[in-house]
């Protein structure tokens, strides 16, 4: 099961070099294939094809672009199971979740962008008589991570194509199989030759080549804050537009006024933290609990963690799977060890693998209580099923703790008081605030404050990231 070809200029082509790396099944720690690693020459090939098609593709009327998006949506729905099976294999997502959440994102985001493009005005007149036009920015490079493969690919590729921008994608080299299927979907939908390219490779080589390339007008990156800074510096040489969706350490403020709903809200919060085995940039990993209900919340969270099922990603069900590779497993183990050394109270989980799970990169769902916000487990992104519970005496202290972070991707509030929900949400420095389990709909912009990045993905604002504004002045 290999990813040994790149998709460039409408064809599957051999890479310019011979370097490869293993494709691993994290549930068994076994190699299931190999992925070819690209070089600058492959990026140049894709950019040349993108520049050649841009003059025509960038002038496609909206009706043709909408028709293309609808065909892509249909193709994604048709191959939902293929996408789900690929992601389950390559990054360990349990198949039910891979099907219902991971693969579904490709369909949902298509719906969001279709609706946004239908509604978007591409020419309008100001009150002063001047005319404004929206135009595609040009060929764009995209670098996506392994933790939500199709979600992130769709959030970048679809708005580029929707606005007439050729898209050059470098997915994570760890999750190439789902990306290849998505490339097949785009080909079958009739994306014109040159308007989409798929190049596998490392960030240090292919990603850096894309960020530095003088003929790419834009680079869109999702990943760690450290890597996002590196991409931004590389892109600065050509003054290209850069959009970033980076790390997070999302607070979840739990108030005693939840009343009888407190247990449900806490259990749902723990499940949200552990979703995707905790490998989500917006996971609510810091539970900040009002003192009046602190002890009760800790006990509920302990039981929720201890009853969280861990299992084979091939099996249907609501369990969590393994971490995606050995390096990530050791990182999470190191952070759990750090939490213990710092004096946090371990109430569930801990070091090592779950009983009886000796193969694969499985981790014990872990909860720490009595965490203070200066501890590493409260400040660093762990990217595993590890929850830190912090105490706050009142609302003001909860808000202060929540905002005391370099990140600002998301925040969560659990309360029975709608006025408090509005008041607290207005004080939180985060790009999305989820109240009492409220989810984000397709087409809603996603992005963060501070070190969590810049720009927004999804819906109308996601389209605008790939557009320039031209003004016309008639005499």
Residues with catalytic annotation? 245, 281
Strand-by-strand arrangement of the 140-143 sheet: 11-13, 6-8, 196-198, 167-170, 140-143, 218-222, 241-245, 453-454
Structure tokens at 160: 């580029």
And the tokens for 97? 């979740």
Which backbone phi and psi does 113 adopt, to 5 degrees? -75, -35
Q: How far apart are alpha carbons 35 and 6 in whole angstroms?
A: 10
Give the tokens for residue 349.
């989980």
Three-state DSSP state, 458 = coil
Q: Please enumerate in sequence order all residues whose Cβ is within 8 A of that of 66, keeping only pairs 6 or more positions apart, or say none.
A: 114, 117, 118, 162
CB 253 within 8 A of CB 424: yes
Report the C-alpha dihedral over residues 154, 155, 156, 162, rounded to 10 degrees.
80
Integer Cα distance of 30 and 49 in angstroms: 37
* Helix residue spans in 132-224 (DSSP H): 149-163, 176-189, 208-212
Other beta carbons less than 10 A from residue 226's beta carbon: 10
Is residue 174 within 8 A of residue 325, CB to CB? The reply is: yes
Please state whether beta strands 218-222 and 241-245 pair in parallel, antiparallel, or not at all (unpaired): parallel
């Amino acid at each position: 099961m290999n990813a040994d070809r790149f998709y460039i200029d409408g064809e599957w082509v051999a890479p310019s070099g011979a370097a490869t790396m293993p494709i691993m099944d994290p549930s068994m720690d076994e190699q299931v294939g190999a992925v070819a690693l690209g070089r600058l020459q492959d990026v140049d090939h894709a950019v040349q094809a993108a520049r050649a098609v841009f003059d025509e593709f960038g002038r496609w009327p909206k009706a043709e672009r909408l028709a293309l998006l609808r065909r892509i949506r249909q193709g994604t729905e048709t191959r939902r199971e293929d996408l789900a099976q690929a992601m389950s294999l390559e990054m360990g997502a349990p198949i039910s979740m891979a099907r219902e959440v991971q693969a579904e994102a490709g369909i949902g985001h298509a719906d969001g962008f279709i609706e946004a493009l239908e509604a978007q005005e591409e020419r309008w007149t100001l009150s002063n008589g001047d005319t404004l036009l929206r135009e595609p920015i040009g060929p764009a490079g995209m670098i996506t991570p392994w933790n939500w493969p199709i979600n992130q690919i769709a959030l970048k590729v679809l708005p580029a194509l929707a606005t007439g921008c050729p898209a050059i994608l470098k997915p994570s080299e760890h999750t190439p199989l789902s990306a290849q299927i998505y490339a097949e979907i785009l080909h079958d939908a009739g994306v014109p030759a040159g308007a989409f390219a798929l190049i596998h490779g490392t960030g240090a080589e292919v990603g850096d080549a894309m960020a530095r390339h003088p003929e790419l007008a834009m680079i869109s990156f999702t990943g760690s804050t450290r890597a996002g800074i590196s991409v931004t510096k590389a892109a600065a040489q050509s003054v290209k537009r850069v959009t970033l969706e980076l790390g997070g350490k999302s607070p979840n403020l739990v108030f005693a006024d939840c009343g009888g709903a407190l247990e449900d809200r806490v259990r749902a919060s723990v499940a949200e933290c552990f979703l995707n085995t905790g490998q989500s940039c917006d996971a609510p990993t810091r539970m900040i609990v009002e003192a009046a209900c602190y002890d009760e919340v800790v006990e509920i969270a302990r039981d929720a963690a201890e009853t969280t099922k861990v299992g084979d990603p091939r099996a249907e069900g609501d369990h969590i799977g393994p971490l995606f590779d050995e390096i990530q497993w050791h990182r999470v183990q190191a952070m759990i060890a750090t939490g213990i050394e710092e004096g946090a109270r371990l109430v569930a989980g801990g070091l090592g693998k779950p009983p009886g799970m000796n193969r694969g990169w499985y981790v014990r769902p872990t909860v720490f209580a009595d965490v203070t916000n200066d501890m590493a487990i409260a400040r660093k992104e762990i990217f595993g099923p590890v929850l830190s519970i912090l105490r706050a005496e009142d609302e003001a202290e909860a808000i202060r703790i929540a905002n005391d972070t370099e990140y600002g991707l998301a925040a969560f509030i659990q309360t029975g008081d709608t006025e408090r929900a509005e008041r607290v949400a207005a004080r939180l420095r985060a790009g999305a605030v989820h109240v009492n389990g409220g989810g984000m709909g397709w087409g809603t912009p996603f992005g963060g404050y501070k070190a969590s990045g810049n720009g927004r993905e999804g819906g109308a604002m996601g389209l605008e990231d790939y557009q320039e504004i031209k003004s016309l002045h008639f005499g």
